[in-house]
Amino acid sequence: MATYSYGGCIEQAYKVNWKIKDVLGKVDFDLNRPWLPADLSGSGDIFCLNPEEKQKLTHVEMGAYVHLVGFLETFIAPLMVDLALDSDGSDSQAFEALANFASEEVKHMHLFREVGRRIDARLGFPLQRADGQNEVAQAVLSRSKGAVLLLTAAIEWFTQQHYVSSMNPSDGLDPLTREVFRCHWMEEAQHARLDHLEGLRLFKDMTVLERGEAVEDFVWLLATLDGLLERQSLLDGLNLERHLGRTFTDRERTEILDSLLKAKRHCFIESGLSHPNFLELYLSVTTASQQARVLGAVRLLLQRQPFHWTPPTEPSPRGREHYL
């Protein structure tokens, strides 16, 4: 059983704190290297692309990955401010740790925006990215705070896993990718522990009805996240066509989109929900019947087929109907 503390989290946070300028320095992305590991980009499962095209896909998918992580942090930062205020000054260490958590999330959002600008500059064109961060954040934060915290915990733990299991061991990966996510990993380690502490605190004070509402909202949040992943996958297909300078056949489009969405669902949903540390929190605050409800919903979600894109004659519309 985890034995985290607010004091330990804030102490470690101050030890590993970094500045964006020190992370990025003057190093740029190398077009001759992959920018994201194959298991995170989905490049390994696409047979219609040759090795050079698969490497270029990792460039596009690095842009999508940093955008999506930054997108999700848009609601995590205000959630932590709210939780810090909940402490009402009665626990100074909790307030300090959560306020610092929020501050670091804002820093991460700035980091990923700057990384995105560097990616666009290196590729020579602006990638299309799913928009509506503020609107989605408002919709997410309107749901049960317990549900939002469960989703946040899953997100924090999957970022830990992605760096430790995929990015760090990948010797051929672009050095800038590894450095960006090494620094992100160091600070997110404290965030994941704080999610655990706050999750236990919140659910302890909930009624049976409130816990049930939190579980239903958690299912809604996962479906909303899946819609966002689908929307970005559609845009990534268009981005890849532009990066490669060719138009895909219908069969290629189907294979590429299926692989991109499968990889994103694994990255942003499955790897978080299956992380042992997330499960320790989740299983301790939900009942067996609630867990079965979530499991069934997730299975249906992951089996759902994506909308296959039709290349537009004009830039793709920026509507958000897929995920709101």
In-domain check, residue 315:
no
pLDDT tens string 278-290: 999 999 999 999 9
Q: Which residue has the tokens 């989905």?
A: 42
Band (pLDDT 50/70/90 cuts) for residue 119 is very high
Q: What is the pLDDT of residue 319?
A: 36
Please say whether the beta carbons of 170 and 37 come within 8 A: yes
pLDDT tens digits, 50-68: 999 999 999 999 999 999 9
Position 315 pLDDT exceeds 80: no
Percentage of the chain modeled with pLDDT above 70: 93
In a domain, 1, yes or no: no
Residue type, 273: L
Between 87-101, 251-265, 302-316, the lowest mean confidence (pLDDT) is in 302-316
In a domain, 316, yes or no: no
The separation between CA 153 and the C-alpha centre of its own chain, rounded to angstroms, equals 11
Rounded CA separation 190/183 (Å) = 12
pLDDT of residue 308: 53
The per-residue pLDDT for 309 is: 52
Residue 179 lies in a domain: yes
| 45 — pLDDT class (breaks 50, 70, 90) | confident
pTM of the predicted structure, to 2 decimals = 0.92
CATH assignment of the domain containing 151:
1.10.620.20
Domain containing residue 85:
6-303
Average pLDDT in the chain: 92
Under DSSP, the state recorded for 154 is H
> Within a domain: residue 238?
yes
Residue 90 pLDDT > 80, yes or no? Answer: no
pLDDT digits (tens, 9 = 90+) for 220-250: 999 999 999 999 999 999 999 999 999 999 9
Looking at the structure of the chain, the number of domains it has is 1
Q: Is the dihedral of CA 242, 243, 247, 252 positive or negative?
A: negative
User: What pLDDT score does 305 carry?
Assistant: 67
Does 30 map to a domain? Answer: yes
CA 261 to centroid of chain Cα atoms: 14
Residue 266 belongs to some domain of the structure: yes
- Output the pLDDT for position 313: 45
**Pair 301, 225: CB distance under 8 Å:** no
CB 85 within 8 A of CB 102: no
Band (pLDDT 50/70/90 cuts) for residue 203 is: very high
CA distances in angstroms from 31 to 117, 123, 167, 191, listed in the order given:
15, 8, 17, 32
